Structure formats: structure tokens, C-alpha cells
Structure 1
């Protein structure tokens, strides 16, 4: 096959969305690069998989790259610091990571470690997340921001944490919650660090626009806000109100929305200060997006700004508003989760088999075949580039007519099989001819409907739930042969027994496509695909459809010499483990199966010598991986 080192960019646009973290080597393999060690060589992702396979760690697996996570935290904090210095802003930035975005211990632990030099904290939206946050030694100036609905137990723990030096902020979501805080504060005799969540009227665009504006779920309107302020004054706790939280939105695609929402948040900050609230912190929530497609435009899966521009717009807007109101600059807080963790994880899996919607040759028409079979075969005789649409129309018409005749019993099974094979052979020729002439319009759309199906070793519902639920796009590319022109186009089908378990939207260099350019499967080695930027939400939201559990998980760190260190391995769920998740006791299952085997032996339908084989097979399965396991 002819090799072309520029193919990957022409087809998959890796350089466009890869952020320099993901690149393609001259050998046509996806490579990982540590941006903090620009002089070091890149490392082949297929090479990493081969190394892990030698260690007994197989696909499918979730690969976390610690170096990428550290890079994003450094980049975010440096961008805010640079903007603060350039603008002359007179207060620091104190970011927090929302634990809900990725609650895995290996991720949270490293965020705390990498964030410590920047006083980077955590956001907790529930009691379990607060427990996680309080189990970490944060820097003395880092924040724990508590959002969401809070009962007395949640509030009590948050206030008590102050005794250990935690800067734990209780963000009041409603007047009712304020009453609970007042009661618990009186009980404990400890002043809390309070915030109020203000519901902004400005609605951002994008997929999560409903998380902003008047109809957003959390936050208080102006009437509720003033009731809370007055109640805190009455209770003698107004001095504890130091933070205003105004959530800008999620995955905000347009930087102008960031500026407008920040400006509105500042207006509330100024007015609350005039009402007597001694505010010192302005929390502008989430919103910093990820450019999944690399398009650099305002759309559901892209953003039209850089991290630097996001930070600069925010700092400039707040500085201007505070200077105009003659107020001290508040400590800036954001709750960037997706932008911090998305790039650090990737899902890797192998292709198990294919369903090809074409055939290399056509059978001869039999003497007693229906005349439509001969008519279908005759299309090949006038298949030329100028008549390609006509030939496709004719072939599809004859095939559909023959299917109707088969349903009525006029055409038998063997005739139908020959007709289908002839049709698939014509499809192959039409696809090849169309690929050389760049078809447009109806033919292009019709050919997409006969893309191949590549059956892959993963569960969409477990590992990529947002792809199924909300049509989230992630970059997906083959990990090898990227310097060889793909000879097929396919959609991806997962291993679940569900027709929804498929991926049929792909990010390519020329836009979003309903099929992915792929290669014919090599006979002597696995064919791997990678799904990138899956570090946000996917691990926690995944479910047990068909009882496919968590995949193997590996955390690595990239070395300066172009190698990698294996930092952590978490074996994927066994069948025994997923059975326990759905209230089956594995021991009871084994006992029930053993009883059936013994009864079968007593009845004479199973030989006693087969008992060991049957029980061994059952035990091996119950202790095995839930995914397809290649023979070793």
C-alpha cells in the first residue's frame, strides 16, 4: 500500500484537535506528547498497548495520562496569573475542581497534587463529595466550595471542617437552606464561610444552555437573594457572607457569552456589597469549554476561544466593573471541570470483526433465475462514471423488487442470495468509482447508508454514555496505519446486544461525517481504535447495560526519554463483581449451577466425568472479564 505521512491530517484532522498532545508519527501511529517536555520524543500509543499486553493488561481499557492532567491544571492557572498581571488585577485566582466531573480517586488525588502550588481546591455537590474533599490535604488558601442541596448533616460537616483549617464555603441555594445554616451555626457556635448562588438572566448558547438563564435549576432570583441577605443580617451572620457564586454555564461555545455573563455577575456583586454583604470572592462557576472537533467555532462540540482568551475576558470584565464601582477586586474563583480532565483520558479498544456491505465478485446468474436477477447483473455492463447515479438507482430498484418477490414466495432463498451478492458486488464498484470522483448530493448520502459495520470490543453505555444519550462527539481515529489510505468506511458497533450501541457521527478534517474512514482488518495483528478526550463525566455516568462493567484502567506518566511509567492499574470488573451490583450473590449462582449439574448426573443426562468440566467452565466465566477476551 502507498504511504503518505500527510494522510492523517487530510482525513482525521489530528493536528487540529489534538492540541499537540495527540499527534501522528512518521510510522503512521498515534503518539502521545508531554507538552512540558518539548525536547522529549513522542511515544507510540500502539507501542504502549503492546507493552501493557505483555504485562497482561488487555483492551478494552481506559488510559489516563497523568502528564496531560498536570498540563491542563498548569495551563489554566498560568493563563489566569498572566491575565491578572497584565491587567493589574489586585486579587488572586483560586480555582476549584468539581468532583462530579470525575470522581475517581486516581484523578482527584492527582488534581490535588498538581493543583497545590496554585492553591487549587475542590467543589463538592453532595455529602459524599465533601467527604472526598476533606480527605485531602489542600493548601492553606485553597477552597472547598459546597454547592447543591444541603441537609443539616451536610452543613454541619462543612462548618466543622473549618476547625481543621479548611476554607469550606457553604453556597446558599435557597432561603430554606439559609434557615438550616443559621440553626446549625447556632448549635455549633462556629462562624461559617458563606456564599450565595445568584441565578443570572443571561442564557448562554450550546448543548447545555438550559443550565443557565432564568430556567436554570439552581440559584436564587433577586427577591430570594434579598430575603436571604436580610435574614443573615437579622441572625447576625451577614459578616460570614463572603462569596457570590454565579454559574455562567457549561461548555460555553462563545466567548462573548462569557463576557456578558461575567458582566451581569459583577452587577449583582456590586449591589450585594451595597446591601452590606462583605463579599471578597466572586465564583463564576463552570463554562470553560473543550474544542472536541478542533473547529475553533461556536458550536455544541467546539469553542471559539482559547483558555488564555477566556481568562483575559473574565479578568478584564471584573476589573472594569469593580473599578467603576470603586470596590476592591475580589478573589476570582472558577469551577472548571471538563477543561481540566477531558483531555487526560482516552478509551482504546480492538475491532473484533466486520460486516462488509460490498463483495469482491458476483456469482453467475443461473438459467432458472428470475429475469430481475439477470437485469440486476446487467447493470455492470453500463457502469461508468457518467452514469454512476443511474446505476445505483437501477441496482437498488432491482434488489428491492427481488426482495418483494422473495417475501411473496416467487423467488427462492438461493436466488435471493445470488441477487444480494450481485448487488453487493455492484456496490463495491460504485463505492470505488465514487471515491475517485467525490460524489455529491443524493448519491453521497445513499452510499453512507451502506457503510460497513466494525464490531468493537467496548460498551457504548458503560464507557461513552454521553455519545448515546446526548450525541456528544469525541475524536475517534485508528491508532495505526495512518500513513496508509483507508480503503473502507464504517460505523462502529459495540459489544452490547442493543441496536443503540453504535457510533455513527465522526469528527473528520472536513467536518462531521456519518462514517469513519478505516482500513481492512490486518490478519496478523489487532486493529485498534481510540476515542479521545473522555475524561469528563464518562466514567461516573456509565451503566451496566448487558452487565458489561468497568474496563481495565491504567494511569501512566510520560517520561522525558520518550518512555512511560505505569503509575496505577485497576483491573476491569469481573462477572462476579457485576453480578453483585445487581443483587446476585456469585456464591449462590455457583451453588445453584452445581445443584443442576448434580441433578443432571442423577438423571443420567450428564456423565459424572463431565462434572469437573462443567463446574470449571462456570467458575472460570464468573471470575473472568466481562468483555471479549482474545485467546492467548
Structure 2
């Protein structure tokens, strides 16, 4: 469920007409619903009610400070994968004990920053990383809490570019080597093992891969405890998918996911950590764009819009599908026709949809890309010297710009010209 609905023939974000926001901020822009973000976080929190748990929002999905501050106020922890994300989490008021630091390439500087600022744990991805964390912690005179991320060699049945739990993926320690690596970790003076971490991929629409991975985690927990390790936390990652195509069957609900966790791991008495990102943010955001031209081509017609692949790269990178709907509700029975929906960037890959059936639309009409709240704004760039587009949040009948569009002058002034280049560009 989201809060982007037609009312009196116009698409609204909660109680605000989307067209009103477009008139105020210009297109294209991202638009988030605070009510949807809140609801989706609470669905996960309630799904694990009665279990000692922490829901850590995977902020790589959408990391605007307004989103993070909203979720932090609801009690969310944060799953971060870089020093920049750690800084954003702290700036949003998230205490260190609610920050989990993941990622395969933590630098020495990032490790030191997190140890100095406080964190819940490092999710360790490799033996060299474990050694580096130990060295930095000993140098600082502190003990680093760690879990080891195990790779369970489970096929998540998702897109190859977002699968993380197979043996050929770069993530984690092979589960067959886990006991040996845990034994080594226990011998180190700068780290303290607190649990196990696993994450098998993103946009999973079936619970079976989760179940297979968690059964392996349960077995490993028993083995490690028998070996004398204190396994008090199980970090289960995220990955639960969302329905990008509304005509498709719906993915499992958080309540079903929570029930499965209880079945497979509830008997272990460990604290459960989960790291949802896409399901919290995905359907909480849309991207709004305006049609520039309707072009008749040879054998196909095009809707050329003012958003581009640099604003929303998922279709170009993953062949991802997004529902695209007019902001003004089509008349009942309006006849649809197929269009390729494309942006203005000089790349054939700047195509959002091919032969997509659309009701009558023309130049100046507004379109909304649904389910764009996750991996939209965070993956955007300024390719073709196109400014990063604004982000806007609504709550009830209010809206606010939470990241403004930079001017061309601001973009240009970020660059510096070395003294050995002659001439005066401003002359």
C-alpha cells in the first residue's frame, strides 16, 4: 500500500495534488510520502513483535536526511556501507548502538571513524578485513564488536546484479570455512564476536531462498556455540521485494517474513536484526516528469520526457520495470496506444519503457513513475551536465523540498581550473 492515489481525477501524494507540487518546484523531481515510510517501517517492526529485534533501515535505498531523521524518530537502526552513510546516520540522530556497518571494502579510515563515533557492530566480509579491524581497534585501544558475514551459497532467484548469496558472489566468507574463521577471530585481541551475518540478495519475491539460508544459519549457530562462541545476534540482512508491476502477484508480506523467521530461528534465543531498504522506501516514492514531445517514428511512437537515465538509472542498468501513470486520471474507457518512453540523454539506453500502453497524453502532461523511492535519487548523477533533481516530502496536506535542484552556476563552480591552463573562461 502507498499514499499516491487518484482523487477527483488528479493524482495526490497523501492530501497534496502532485500537479501543485510540480508547479512549485518544476520537473522532474522525486516525491516521498512520510505516511508510507512510517507505515512500512512499522510493518517490519510489528512483524517481529515479541522477539528481541532491531530493524535497521538499509539506507543505500534512499539516504536523504529527511527520510533518515523520520525513520530514526520511529526507532529504526541504520545499516550503512560507507563512511558517508555513517556520517549521514549520525547527522540524522541515530545513536552508534543502532548503526550496523556493512560493505565489502571498509577502509582503515572508515573503520577508525566508526570505532570513534560508536557502532553496534561491523559485519565483516573477509579475513583481510577482520585483520584490519583488529589492527585499527588495538591501535585505538578499543574492542570492535563484529559479526562475520557467511555466504550460504543459496540462489536467491533474483536479478544477477543484485544476487549476493551464491558462492561466485564477492560477498561474505564461504560457510564451509566459517568455523575456522570464527576460531581465528576469537584469538584476536581487538575484536569481539557477537553473532552471525547473512544477506542473499535484493528484490526477493519468494520466502524459500530466505528459509534455505536461515536454516544454514541455524545449523551454524549450533556448531559455533558448541565451539564456545557467544552467538547472541543474528543479522539476517534484507532483500524482501516489492510489486513493481501491479498486475503481478504480490511478494510476501513483512508479517509472513516475520513468521518464517520465528519458525526457523526463534528457538535459538538470539537477538534478530533485519535490514530492509527497498520495501520501506520503494513504494514510498515516485518520480514526476513532464512530456516534452510526442514523436511519431518508423513503426513506433515515442514519449520524450524531461527525466532521463541520469535521474532514474534502474531501467537502463537492470531493465527494471516501473509503472508509469498520468498525473491527471484518464477518462473511463480511454483508448491506450503503445509508446517508447524515453529521456533526452544522448544514449539509446535512456529508455524507460518500450511499447508501453499509455492513455492519451501530450506535450506538457505530467507522468508519475511509481515505486521509485528506492535506488532512484541515491543512484542519480549529473551526466550530460543535467542538475540533480529535487527531492520533496509530503506529510498530510503539507510538502517541503528536502533537496533542492542546483543551478548551473553552482554545478560549474564546483570545478577548479589549474593555474597552468591559460585564458579566462569568464571573459
Instruction: Provide TM-score, normalisation by structure 1.
Output: 0.62
Residue of structure 2 in register with 1:409 after alignment: none
Structure 1: which 5+ runs fail to align?
Answer: 1-18, 34-41, 86-90, 298-302, 358-448, 506-513, 559-563, 595-632
Indicate the residue corresponding to 1:378 in structure 2: none
Query: Secondary structure of 2:400's partner?
Result: strand
**1: CA distance, partners of 2:346 / 2:37:** 34
Aligned match of 1:44: 17
Q: How does 1:378-397 map to 2 (within 5 A)?
A: none
Q: Give the conservation status (yes or no) of the 8 Å contact 1:262–1:317.
A: yes
Q: Equivalents in 2 of 1:589, 1:346: separation in Å?
A: 46
Asked if residue 255 in structure 1 is aligned to residue 244 in structure 2, the reply is no
SS at match of 1:95: strand
Distance 2:365 2:164 in 1: 40
Richer in strand (by share): 2
Q: Is the 8 A contact 1:22 1:30 kept in 2?
A: yes
Counterparts of 1:200 and 1:70 in 2: how far apart (Å)? 32
In structure 1, what is the Cα distance between the partners aligned to 2:55 and 2:201?
16
1:569 is displaced (CA, Å) by 4.5
SS in structure 2 of the partner of residue 462 of structure 1: coil
1:148 Cα deviation (Å)?
2.7
Work out the CA distance in 1 between the residues paired with 2:175 and 2:259: 28
RMSD: 2.7
Choose which of 115, 122, 133 in structure 2 pairs with 1:170.
Answer: 122
Contact 1:123 1:147 in 2 (8 A): no
Q: In structure 2, how many angstroms separate the alpha carbons of the residues matched to 1:493 and 1:181?
A: 46
Superposed, 1:552-631 pairs within 5 Å as: 552-558=390-396, 564-580=397-413, 591-592=424-425, 594=427
The corresponding residue for 1:78 is 46
- Choose the corresponding residue for 2:320, options 472, 490, 508: 472
Helix, strand or coil at the partner of 2:57:
strand
Contact 1:174/1:224, CA 8 A, preserved across alignment: no
The answer for the alignment partner of 1:389 in structure 2 is none
> Structure 1 pair 583/482, CA: closer, same or farther in 2 (3 Å)?
farther
CA-to-aligned-CA distance 1:341-399 (integer Å, 9 cap, x gap): 11222111111221135xxxxxxxxxxxxxxxxxxxxxxxxxxxxxxxxxxxxxxxxxx
Q: 2:374 aligns with which of 517, 528, 536?
A: 536
* Corresponding residue of 1:37: none
The residue that corresponds to 1:616 in the other structure is none
Q: What CA distance in whole angstroms lies between the structure 2 residues aligned with 1:545 and 1:567?
A: 26
Specify the alignment match of 1:483 in structure 2. 331
Of 360, 366, 379, the residue aligned with 1:519 is 360
| Contact map agreement 1:59 1:350 (CA 8 A) in 2 | yes
* TM-score scaled by length of structure 2: 0.90
Query: Aligned residue for 1:360?
Result: none
SS at match of 2:211: helix
SS for the counterpart of 1:463 is coil
What is residue 265 of structure 2 aligned with on the other side? 318
Identify the match of residue 167 of structure 2 among 185, 190, 214: 214
Q: Secondary structure at the match of 1:496?
A: coil
- Tell me how far apart the structure 2 counterparts of residues 64 and 96 of structure 1 sit (CA, whole Å): 20
Q: In 1, Cα distance between the equivalents of 2:2 and 2:400? A: 23
Which structure's relative contact order is higher, taking Cα pairs within 8 Å and 6+ residues apart?
2
Relative to structure 1, the CA distance from residue 567 to residue 286 in structure 2 (aligned partners, 3 Å threshold; closer, same or farther) is: same
Q: Is the 8 A contact 1:32 1:43 kept in 2?
A: yes
Of 283, 287, 292, the residue aligned with 1:343 is 283
Match of 2:80 among 97, 104, 124: 124
Residue 178 of structure 1 and its aligned partner are, at CA, apart by: 2.1
- Tell me, what secondary structure is at the counterpart of 1:555? strand
Please say if residues 11 and 329 of structure 2, whose CA atoms lie closer than 8 Å, have aligned partners that are also in contact. no
Q: Post-superposition shift, 1:479?
A: 1.1
Q: CA deviation at 1:193?
A: 1.4
SS of 1:578 mapped into structure 2? helix
Q: Is the 8 A contact 2:31 2:394 kept in 1?
A: yes
Name structure 2 gaps, 5 residues minimum: none
SS at match of 2:173: coil
**Matched length:** 423
Q: 1:579 to 1:237 in 2, by over 3 A?
A: closer
1:452 counterpart residue number:
301
- Higher Cα Rg: structure 1 or 2? 1
CA distance in 1 between partners of 2:422 and 2:64 (Å): 30
Cα distance in 2 between the residues matched to 1:296 and 1:310: 19
* 1:94–1:143 Cα contact (<8 Å) kept: no
CA separation of 1:486/1:97 partners in 2, compared to 1, >3 Å: closer, same or farther? Answer: same
* Cα shift readout 1:398-428 (whole Å, capped 9, x = no counterpart): xxxxxxxxxxxxxxxxxxxxxxxxxxxxxxx
